[in-house]
Amino acid sequence: MKKIIKHNPEAVNEVLKLLSNKWKIFIIRDLLDGKRRFGELKRSTGSSQKSLTSALRELEDDDIVVRKSYPEIPPRVEYSLTDIGYSLAPVIDTMADWGTDFIKYKQLKEKINRKNKAV
């Protein structure tokens, strides 16, 4: 078994506050690949316009995302991660790795349960 490392509860709480909204995690995940326009983020995350706008504003306030407007007709707005936003990549990667392992665990457990019920 792995040694349990005691973490600063305030630091963990800060991350949870920042990523407490699933749309924020999806936004960061998508922006790790580069700039995105609002419509692209809306399609890829599946969020409503109101939820996406709110999450993007909060991420901007936390300096995770930067919004760049272009003075064009029609207006064009792009979102990208700041340097501190990109530093969340290992957190997202770790979550994805754990999620993959957990899905496999649940599938194996279900398979074993079906096998035991058949006996």
CATH fold for domain 9-87: Arc Repressor Mutant, subunit A (1.10.10)
Give the pLDDT of residue 78: 97
What per-residue confidence (pLDDT) applies to 27? 97
CB 56 within 8 A of CB 25: no
pLDDT digits (tens, 9 = 90+) for 64-78: 999 999 999 988 999
Nearest to 67 by CA among 90, 95, 36: 36
pLDDT score for 52: 97
pLDDT of residue 65: 98
Per the structure block, which two tokens stand in for 55? 């999450």
Cα atoms in the 13 Å half-sphere on the side-chain side of 51:
14
Positions of the chain with pLDDT under 70: 1-5, 119
What pLDDT score does 82 carry? 98
Q: Is 79 helix (H, G, I), strand (E, B) or coil?
A: strand
